[in-house]
Amino acid sequence: MSTIVEATVPAGQFALAETLERVPDAEFRMVRLVAHGAESAMPFLWASCDRPDRLREVLDRDDTVDTVEPLAEFDGECLLRVDWGPRVRVVASIVAEESATILDASGHDGAWHLQIFFPEHDRVSATYECCEDYGIDITLERVCRLSEASEYGHLGLTERQYETLVDAYDAGYYDVPRGVNQAELAESFAVSHHALSER
C-alpha cells in the first residue's frame, strides 16, 4: 500500500548545513517538479532571508553545493538552480533506490523537513535502515497510508496547513506578482514568519 512519510534530517547530514548555520534566518523550499532520482533531486529552491546578497555569498562556499545559480528574485525571495554535491545525492539515492519520491522539502533552523511518497509501505523501513547504515539520523515524524493522507484532498497536510495554503492562495500569495508576502501572511495568522513557513 502507498505511504506518505514526513521526516526530518539534520542539515549537517543532508544539505546546506554551513549556509543554515552562517545565515540563521535563511529558509529554503523545494520547487515541486514531476521528477525524482538522485540526479534530479531538488534542482530548484526558493530561498528567503533578510540579506539575499549575504546568502548567495555563503551558498557559493557551502560544500554540499557544486554550483548555484540565482534565476530570479521576488519580494525578498530568490529562485535558485542548484547542482548538489555527493552528500545530498546519497540521501536522494537512498530514497530513489526504494522507488520513493521526495514530494516536498524545506530547510531551516538546522534541519530539513521532507515529505516522501513510497509506492509500497514496506520500503519505508528499508529506507530507514539504509539511512542508519550511512549514518543519517532520519526521524520519521509521521507515517500514513496514502488513502488516509488524501482523504480530504490535501495529501498528508494537517488541517491547519491545508487552511493556511487555501488562505494564502485566496490572499494572492501564489500570484505573480505576489499579492501578499510571507511576513504579511504571518501577521494575518498572528504567528511568526518561521511558523508560517513551517506550515
Beta bridge mates, 8: 113, 139
- Per residue in 41-68, pLDDT (tens digit) is 678 899 988 887 888 889 999 999 999 9
- Per residue in 162-196, pLDDT (tens digit) is 778 778 888 888 788 888 888 888 888 888 777 77
The percentage of residues in the chain with a pLDDT greater than 90, rounded to a whole number, is: 32
pTM of the model as a whole: 0.69
Q: Are 57 and 65 in contact (CB under 8 A)?
A: no
Count of all residues that appear for the chain in the document: 199
Burial readout 23-62 (b: 16 or more C-beta within 10 A, e: otherwise): beebbbbbeeeeebebeebbeebbbbbeebeebbebbeeb
- Per residue in 128-151, pLDDT (tens digit) is 999 999 999 999 988 887 666 554
Q: How many C-beta neighbours within 10 Å does residue 83 have?
A: 12
Confidence of residue 111 (pLDDT cuts 50, 70, 90): very high
Given this model, what pLDDT does residue 32 score?
A: 66
Amino acid 147 reads S
